[in-house]
Structure formats: structure tokens, C-alpha cells
Amino acid sequence: MPKTSGNAKQRLVLTARGLVKKYGDAVALGGLDLDLRSGECVALIGHNGSGKTTAMRIMAGLMEPSEGSVKIKGIDIHVARGNPITRSAIAFAPDNPVLYDDLTVEEHLILTGLAHGVGDGLDERIDIVLEELGLTDRRDYLPSQLSRGMRQKTSIACTLVRPLEVLMLDEPVVGLDPPSQRLLRDEISRLISDEVAVILTTHQIEFARGIAAKAVILDNGEMVDHGAFDQVVEGEKAASLGLV
């Protein structure tokens, strides 16, 4: 069981402090603090519009925060925009997979590997990832030939084929059937064992149970509860918000 919680051996890889995102008067995220250590998985839980995806996109460097900072290995990703060290560290799979319509599954993985400087061993790595996610027989398919779930798996495969330190998965199980969800859970567990830090957003508490050591509950952009996963999901807030 890869579920771990902070200990002395785990390195702090991501620090988010006071993350706020405002659109005029509307507050999408009202102040998120998060420490993420290597080999640790944190689940961001909340209803639609609670700010999970906004938080994730800010931490992935895809969105600028109105206030606050995100540091990877001590480097503020929004100050040192496009820093190769931070971008090498983060792998992000969005909830809505965006793929090139004229690249096959395998070519997406090759492109990702090349862009991340994977040299020797890329072909073998691709074979392994495709096998682990059940995509081997779809390796020559174009996105238009894939179902929503298969496109989602391709997007996730792209995050796994390259070296990474922080894996961010936004609603990773949307569109995945139960066997694929199990494959993904196994893959995340393996990554956690390999000291990769994982942040995932989900509505499905059961998916996160067993792999996430910590949980953060967001409601209307506010962080209303956080702590050890079991403690949070069995706590009052989760119950009052109807999350469990």
C-alpha cells in the first residue's frame, strides 16, 4: 500500500501559499495553502465550482494566481515563468484531454518524451506505459478513432512516459470504466512508491481512498478542511457538504 504521510525522508517538492484567483468580484479560489512532499498523494475534493480545477491549473503553471505563490523546489513557477526545472518536474493531465488530431497515440508519447529530453530507453518506456494503461492495441490509433475514456488514458499516458516529480491529475477517472480506473489506481500507487508526489481532484472519494494520504476540501473556493485523508472524509465538513 503506497499511502504515505509526511515523514522526515520525504522532500518538500511543492509549496502553495495563499493562492487566490479572482475574476472581478467573483472569487474562484479564496486562499489555498498546500505542502506536497515526494511520495505523497493529496486529493482535492469538492463540488462543481468549488475551485479544484482552478487550484490545479494554478499549481500546474497554466493559470496566473491573483495572489499567492507556488514554489517547486524553491522556485516560484509564476515568477520564473517557463523555468525548465519546474516544467520538467510537473506533469499535468487535464480533465478534458487535448490531443493533436493528426498524431497517433504512440506519436503523442514520443513527442512528450522528446520534449522532455528522454533519450535512450524512450521506446521501451512507451511500451511499458501503453501496456500498463491497456493502450497497446491502440498505439496506432488517431484521437478521432478513440473513445473519450481512451483519449483520457492517452493524456494520462503522456504524463507517465516522461520523468516527473509532481503528477497532477484533474478528474482523472471521468470517462474511465472500472477496470481502467483500477489500472490507473495501480499506476498512481506505483508512482507514489517511486517517490513521485501526486495531486488529484475527484468527486469519487472511493477512487482516492487508499492512495491519497491527505485530503483538502474546497467549497466555493475556500479551503474548509484539510488533513489526513480518512480524518477529512469522515469529518463533519465532508458530511455537511454531502461529499460522502
Outline where 10-91 has alpha helix (H): 52-59, 84-89
Q: Are 132 and 187 in contact (CB under 8 A)?
A: yes
Q: Are 201 and 52 in contact (CB under 8 A)?
A: yes
Given the complex with another protein, which of 193 and 231 has the nearer CB atom?
193
- The yes or no reply on residue 168 touching another protein (CB under 8 A) is no
Instruction: Report the candidate in 62, 73, 56, 74 with the shortest Cα–Cα distance to residue 19.
Output: 56
Q: How far apart are CA 173 and CA 204, in angstroms?
A: 8
Site for another protein (CB under 8 A): which residue of 110, 174, 228, 241?
110
- The yes or no reply on residue 122 touching another protein (CB under 8 A) is yes
Question: Binding mask 52-91 vs another protein (x if CB under 8 A, - otherwise)?
Answer: --------xxxxx----------------xx-xx-xx-x-
Count of residues interacting with another protein (CB under 8 A): 43
Instruction: Report the candidate in 115, 91, 116, 93 with the shortest Cα–Cα distance to residue 167.
Output: 91
Given the complex with another protein, which of 115 and 244 has the nearer CB atom?
115
Question: The cell 493562492 sits on which residue?
Answer: 19
Given the complex with another protein, which of 90 and 238 has the nearer CB atom?
90
Helix (H, G, I), strand (E, B) or coil at 101: coil
Segment near another protein (CB under 8 A), from 5-13, 47-55, 102-110, 212-220?
102-110
Site for another protein (CB under 8 A): which residue of 17, 127, 134, 142?
142
- The yes or no reply on residue 114 touching another protein (CB under 8 A) is yes
Contacts of 158 by beta carbon, 8 Å cutoff, 6+ apart: 91, 93, 108, 109, 112
Q: Where do contacts with another protein occur on this chain (CB under 8 A)?
A: 23-25, 60-64, 81-82, 84-85, 87-88, 90, 92, 94, 98-100, 102-104, 107-108, 110-112, 114-122, 124-125, 142, 155, 158, 163
